[in-house]
Amino acid sequence: MTDNEPMAETPHPKHLGRMRRERLLASRLYVCTDLQRFITRPEAGPVDELDFDALREFFVAAFTGGVDIIQVRDKHVTVQTEIAALVLLRQVADEYAGLSAANDRADVAAIAGVDVFHVGQDDLSTEEARMILGDDVVIGRSCQTIEQVREADSDIGLDYFCTGPIWETPTKPGRAAVGLELPAQAAALESAKAFFAIGGIDETNIGEVTAAGADRVVVVRAVTQASDPAASARALRDQLPA
């Protein structure tokens, strides 16, 4: 999806789930971002504290650089701020044929109308998430062991899973790195289910990840902290399979 042009076409609700899953299978680059650098006035109201122009500019830059999925993940903002950010993300994702994602809270994901909902091992079960979100939302889960990978792979309600953190990362403090063995094991399952490697991945080491068998990755700082998010996304996307 490199150098995307805006797409305003809205799918018919009956085809929404299918469209989202087709885009998931075509996805290679997934970015998670917090909202901290977009908060201009911490003392302001729960929504007005966000610089929506700057946030939109980041979303557009990421999608035009080749990002397929963007997730907003920030446990330090109010629910209303998160919803407002996700609504904006959903709008931009629709314009650029990307996918919008929320983390942990299915109620927030449902209110914002995002495409993707992601959970950890200790969050909602797939069945519980489906009870809130229905069948048209893509659902993914984080995995840190091969047992968790096998369980996710066999869960018919899950659409994808992530393996990591590959390397230690400050975005997951205290969580031990799993190394490249786990994505290699996941690739060896030859599953039809999409999986993404995550954790400390950047332009300098992404080749090690793809060599291990992962052809999809999740990044955070490699794009969110870049001076030129579009260029950084493009440099990563160029090292991933078409």
Residue 198: beta bridge partners?
A: 218
- For the residues 121-127, what does the mean pLDDT come to? 96
**Confidence class for position 1, pLDDT limits 50, 70, 90:** very low
| 58 within 8 A of 229, measured Cβ to Cβ | yes
Pairing of strands 138-143, 116-119: parallel
User: Identity (one letter) of the amino acid at 18?
Assistant: R
| Interatomic CA distance for residues 6 and 147, integer angstroms | 41
Q: Quote the pLDDT of residue 44.
A: 60
| Interatomic CA distance for residues 27 and 150, integer angstroms | 21
List pLDDT tens digits, range 146-203. Answer: 999 999 999 999 999 999 999 988 776 667 899 999 999 999 998 889 999 999 999 9
